[in-house]
Amino acid sequence: MYLTFKKFMLGLISVFIFNITAAQNAGKVIETLNIKSNILNRNVKYAIYLPSDYSTSERTYPVVYLLHGHTDDNTSWLQAGEINRYADKAIEEGTIPPMIIVMPDADSSFYINSYDGDEKYEDFFIKEFIPSIEKTYRIKNKKRFRGIAGLSMGGYGSLLYTIKYPELFAAAGCLSAAVFDDDSIVNMPEKSYQYIYGQLFGGNLKGKERLNKTWYSNSILKLVEIKATADLSKVRYWIDCGVDDYLSREVIVYFIWPL
């Protein structure tokens, strides 16, 4: 009886100590912060993950910009993805170095500048957001310390920004990237097109009318087609999509280039 109780108490103490240690090694998460954008003429929300030693050190850190999917927001990677828990574990195990993870709210912008100029999210992200974040926090603001990743709409945004601005990013992680070819857009049901793309590329467009200047300037497949291999090779890519994901066709067929 005594030995059983002793084992129980030792186990309880071990769990208690483990929880204290885990808490001490946990990064700090702030789910809702704001940045004032002159380009968008509004405040834009973002969330941030700071490694556990951020408040006690004077070092600077690499950064990853983590982009959410369509209809999600700046809290999605934390609330649904628990990215802070995975980051804590990877840092603790030495898989990744301590880093800062920034998660902006992009609403349903697809991270682009819309056809009518009403929503210039791409300009905001490149010209305002990155410079402001890297001035506010202790970030190593050089290409080799800057990465970007995202899911679905965010995977598309990660591809778009790295292809357009390879001088800014060292690596990209693109998960189930929402990439479509011309035929997919031309044949997309009107209701789906209007809901997802109408405000971005032009409303009430049918068939090949949708293949306008804004579409082609933001078509991943078109950009890859016209970009030199040397430019595409300036960024390291991790492109992943589940075999049962309807987006896998686009990923498998179109994203095999030498990197």
Tell me what percent of the residues of the chain surpass a pLDDT of 90.
Answer: 82
15: pLDDT confidence band, cut at 50, 70 and 90?
Answer: very low
Q: Let me know: does 179 contact 220? Beta carbons within 8 Å.
A: yes
Neighbour tally for 250: CB within 10 Å = 20
State the CATH number of the domain containing residue 74: 3.40.50.1820
Tell me what percent of the residues of the chain surpass a pLDDT of 70.
Answer: 84
pLDDT at 144 over 90: yes
Q: Mean per-residue pLDDT for 55-82?
A: 96
pLDDT of residue 4: 56
How many domains does the structure of the chain reveal? 1
Q: Mean per-residue pLDDT for 136-150?
A: 97
Six token digits for residue 6:
């002793």
Pairing mode of beta strands 236-240, 171-175: parallel
State pLDDT tens for residues 77-112: 999 999 999 999 999 999 999 999 999 999 999 999
117 in any annotated domain: yes
95 in any annotated domain: yes
Neighbour tally for 195: CB within 10 Å = 12
Straight-line distance from the first to the last Cα atom of the chain, in angstroms, rounded to the nearest whole number: 64
pLDDT of residue 17: 42
Across the chain, mean pLDDT equals 88
84 in any annotated domain: yes
pLDDT of residue 25: 76
57 in any annotated domain: yes
The rounded distance, in Å, linking the Cα atoms of 184 and 200 is: 16
Q: Which residues contact 68 (CB under 8 A, 6 or more apart)?
A: 74, 76, 77, 103, 105, 106, 150, 151, 153, 154
Q: Let me know: does 86 contact 66? Beta carbons within 8 Å.
A: no
pLDDT of residue 259: 35
242: pLDDT confidence band, cut at 50, 70 and 90?
Answer: confident
209 in any annotated domain: no
pLDDT at 251 over 50: no
H or E stretch including 49? strand 42-50
Residue 259 or residue 3, greater confidence? 3
The rounded distance, in Å, linking the Cα atoms of 201 and 52 is: 42
Nearest to 51 by CA among 105, 102, 125: 102
222 in any annotated domain: no
Domain extent for 131: 27-180+237-254
64 in any annotated domain: yes
226 in any annotated domain: no
| Alpha helical stretches, state H, the chain | 2-24, 76-79, 83-93, 121-123, 130-136, 153-164, 182-186, 190-196, 198-201, 213-217, 220-226, 229-232, 248-254
| DSSP bridge pairs for 65 | 102, 148
Q: Which segment of 7-21, 137-151, 175-189, 239-253 scores lowest on mean pLDDT? A: 7-21
pLDDT of residue 209: 97
Q: Global pTM?
A: 0.87
Q: Let me know: does 161 contact 168? Beta carbons within 8 Å.
A: yes
Nearest to 46 by CA among 71, 69, 62, 67: 67
pLDDT of residue 14: 47
pLDDT of residue 254: 41
Nearest to 152 by CA among 242, 228, 227, 226: 242
pLDDT at 131 over 50: yes
State pLDDT tens for residues 189-230: 999 999 999 999 999 999 999 999 999 999 999 999 999 999
